[in-house]
């Protein structure tokens, strides 16, 4: 009999970027108190549905890591392995990173913002070499290749690379056949 496994995908709880209406992408913003509570409640809902996890995959962004901690705490699964992978990071918004969404619309125009966000192959402008945001990313991701901007297609390729090459075989071997991401 073929093993069936389930994957639960969870978006991070409310972050400081959310309440400030900012494009965050790879910028490492924290959860709000409400974000932590909502994450814990998501874990309680999963507990009611009797989900069990063997392993948890998350991005390297603290808002996602802390969301995972809260969910696993609610499930009494704080002991399971958490694997952080750069390929699960949010989309890189390039020049839009850290900008308030209204200010970005004024600076670049709503039409451009909509195209960059919703067209499959359109990328926001790339971060410039001397940009402080790029320096922050270089410091955090030493010796790692990270995107300076991404289209939806770029993001899809990155996540599929993670799925196909690094995790698919490991997930198939897991006892409970569940994964938290």
Q: What CATH number does the domain containing 78 carry?
A: 3.40.50.1240
pTM of the model: 0.88
Average pLDDT over residues 171-176: 57
Catalytic site includes residue 90:
yes
pLDDT of residue 171: 58
167 band by pLDDT with thresholds 50, 70 and 90? low
3-state SS assignment for residue 180: strand
- Considering the domain boundaries, does residue 57 fall inside one? yes
- Considering the domain boundaries, does residue 1 fall inside one? no
Average pLDDT over residues 69-87: 96
Catalytic option among 14, 90, 95, 150: 90
Catalytic site includes residue 12:
yes
- Considering the domain boundaries, does residue 87 fall inside one? yes
Range of the domain at 146: 6-180
Quote the number of domains for the chain. 1
- Considering the domain boundaries, does residue 110 fall inside one? yes
3-state SS assignment for residue 181: coil
Phi, psi dihedrals of residue 111, rounded to the nearest 5°: -60, -45
Catalytic option among 12, 14, 36, 95: 12
Distance of alpha carbon 21 from alpha carbon 19, whole angstroms? 5
CB contact at 8 A, 101 and 124:
no
- Considering the domain boundaries, does residue 69 fall inside one? yes
Q: Which two structure tokens, joined as six digits, stand for 140? A: 């955090």
Distance of alpha carbon 181 from alpha carbon 179, whole angstroms? 6
- As a whole number, the mean pLDDT across the chain is 90
> Can you name the residues that pair with 178 across neighbouring β-strands?
6
């Amino acid at each position: 009999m073929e093993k069936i496994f389930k994957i639960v995908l969870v978006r991070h709880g409310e972050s400081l970027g959310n309440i400030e209406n900012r494009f965050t992408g790879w910028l490492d913003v924290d959860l709000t108190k409400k974000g932590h509570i909502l994450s814990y409640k998501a874990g309680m809902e999963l507990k009611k549905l009797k989900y069990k996890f063997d392993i948890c995959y998350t991005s390297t962004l603290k808002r996602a890591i802390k969301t995972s901690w809260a969910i696993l705490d609610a499930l009494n699964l704080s002991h399971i392995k958490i694997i952080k992978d750069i390929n699960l990071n949010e989309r890189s918004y390039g020049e839009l990173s850290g900008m308030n969404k209204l200010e970005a619309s004024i600076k670049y125009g709503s039409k451009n913002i909509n195209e960059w966000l919703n067209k499959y192959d359109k990328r926001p402008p790339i971060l410039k070499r001397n940009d402080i945001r790029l320096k922050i990313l270089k410091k955090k991701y030493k010796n790692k290749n990270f995107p300076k901007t991404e289209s939806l297609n770029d993001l899809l390729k990155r996540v599929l690379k993670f799925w196909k090459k690094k995790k698919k075989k490991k997930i198939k071997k897991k006892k409970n056949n569940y994964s938290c991401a």
